[in-house]
Amino acid sequence: MQITITVNGQSQTDDVEPRLLLVHYLREWRDLRAANIGCDTTSCGACTVLLDGQSVKSCTVLAVQADGHAVQTVESLAADDGELHPVQQAFRQEHGLQCGFCTPGMIMATVGLLSENPAPTEREVREALEGNYCRCTGYHNIVRAVLAAADAGSDGADAEAAPGIGGRA
C-alpha cells in the first residue's frame, strides 16, 4: 500500500505492507532509531512520537494510519548546530535519564504534554507520563525535568519555530 508521511518535516512516499507498525516504519524505512521498541503492547511508551502534534505510542499505530499526517520524533528536536530543545536541556540538567532507553519516549510525551498544558502541576505531569515506564530512575528526576522545562517556557512550540527543526502539522 502506498503511503505518504511527513516525518520531521520531510515528506516521503513509500509502498508498505498494510500491517507495518509506525515504529517499524520509522526505524526501518526512515532510519530513525530513537523511537525504541520496548513492548509492542502500548505498555512502556519507549516508542512515543507526536502524530499531528499529539503524543502517541507508535507501536500501536499502523504506518497506513499515519498516511497524510505529520510525525515528529526526538531526532527533530535538537537544532542543526547541536543546541538541545528546552525539554532535552531540562532532562539533562535535572538528570532525568539514566540508561536512556525510555528517554526519547519520555521527551516526546513531555513535548506533547507541554504543548497542551504549558504549566502542569506535579500531579498532572505524573498522570501524563503514567504510560511511559522507566526502570532506572524512579521518576523523581524525570518529573523535575518536565517541571523545569515548563518553568523555562517550553510549550512545544520551540520545536516548530527553531531553525533546522522539523515542524508539526
Q: If DSSP states are collapsed to H, E and C, what string results for 9-74?
A: CEEEEEECCCCCEHHHHHHHHCCCCCCCCCCCCCCCCCCEEEECCEEEEHHHCEHHHHCCCEEECH
Please identify every stretch of the chain with a pLDDT value under 50, giving residue numbers as ranges: 157-169
Q: pTM of the entire structure?
A: 0.88
Domain with CATH 3.10.20.30 in the chain: 2-76
For residue 166, the Cα-to-chain-centroid distance in whole angstroms is 13
Res 41: pLDDT: 82
Per-residue model confidence (pLDDT) at position 138: 83
pLDDT in tens, 125-146: 999 999 999 988 889 999 999 9
**Distance (Å, rounded) from C-alpha 14 to C-alpha 33?**
18
Tell me the pLDDT of the chain averaged across its residues: 90
The pLDDT of residue 161: 36
SS3 content of the chain, % helix, strand, coil (to 5): 40, 15, 45
Q: Does domain 2-76 have CATH number 3.10.20.30?
A: yes
pLDDT for residue 155: 57
Q: How far apart (Å, rounded) are the C-alpha atoms in residues 99 and 29?
A: 26
CATH 3.40.50.970 fits 86-161, yes or no: no
**Range list for CATH 1.10.150.120 in the chain:** 86-161
